[in-house]
Amino acid sequence: MSQESTEPILRVRGLHAAIEGSQVVDGVDFEVPATGITALLGRNGVGKTSTIKAIIGLIQRTGGTIELAGERIDKVPTHKIIQRGVGYVPEDREVFSALSVAENLKLAERDEHPNRQLVEELFPDLVKRSSQAAGSLSGGQQQMASLARALLNVNKLLLVDEPTKGLAPKIVQEVAEALTVAAHSVPILLVEQNLSVVRQLAAGAIILSGGKVVHRTDSATNFLDDEALTQRFLGVQSEEALEQAAETTSGGIV
């Protein structure tokens, strides 16, 4: 049996990044373990997407260091970071609308050994729709196609930004299940607003506020159970508190 690596796959130190001159990532420090799913959490507009984009070089990095598997990537351009094994599933899915599902997948293949078997097992619906224009897929199907494109390649790390946003509960569950399977073979840094998905998937969590890390935990579940912390950093009550409130309310209805 292979020994699990204890070295983090990603080390971010003092990362600063700017959009049009304004500092949106303001000295961020965190590590992503080499296995499992790590959640990147925070209220709207705190810099989660910007942090992901800065890691991959899609917005201007203005300071700090980023190491992928021990190698600096903070001066490396996006296409080379992707070649080095970082898969990116953007928030808005970004499929090529006019191209078929099969063409979208083909374009994502980085070498001659794409992991088609995994993708076909995970997303049988996409196989059925391989000749359909990607732009005519539902939001959930487009999310599957976007995930499938990242999973076709062997990656050291996946960056997945709000994969369940705007999806129906049944599809949210399908996406969560696909991520669970994906995480068996690749560590994932996941931006996710759906806290029951975070609870289901994430081992640790990093919480941002105002472009900075304000809290880190090895147990996303413990964090989500803590009403004071979730209220303070996410502006929501813990799910437990919400459930209790719902029970009290429904108890009062005859």
Binding site for ligand ATP (CB under 6 A): 19-20, 24, 42, 44-50
Q: Considering the complex, state which of residue 62 and residue 130 has its C-beta at the smaller distance from ligand ATP.
A: 62
Q: How far is the CB of 35 from ligand ATP (least distance, A)?
A: 25
Q: How far is the CB of 53 from ligand ATP (least distance, A)?
A: 7
Nearest residue to 50 via CA among 79, 10, 71, 22: 22
Contact 84, 73 (CB under 8 A): yes
Q: Considering the complex, state which of residue 45 and residue 139 has its C-beta at the smaller distance from ligand ATP.
A: 45
Q: How far is the CB of 222 from ligand ATP (least distance, A)?
A: 22
Q: Considering the complex, state which of residue 161 and residue 174 has its C-beta at the smaller distance from ligand ATP.
A: 161
Q: Considering the complex, state which of residue 54 and residue 157 has its C-beta at the smaller distance from ligand ATP.
A: 54
Q: Considering the complex, state which of residue 50 and residue 238 has its C-beta at the smaller distance from ligand ATP.
A: 50
Angstrom distance (rounded) from CA 68 to CA 165: 27
Q: How far is the CB of 125 from ligand ATP (least distance, A)?
A: 27
- Burial of 195-227, coded b for 16+ CB within 10 Å and e otherwise, reads bebbebbbbbbbbbbebebebebeebeebbebb
Angstrom distance (rounded) from CA 146 to CA 151: 9
Q: How far is the CB of 187 from ligand ATP (least distance, A)?
A: 20
Q: Considering the complex, state which of residue 101 and residue 162 has its C-beta at the smaller distance from ligand ATP.
A: 162
Q: How far is the CB of 123 from ligand ATP (least distance, A)?
A: 25
User: Which two structure tokens, joined as six digits, stand for 238?
Assistant: 């813990």
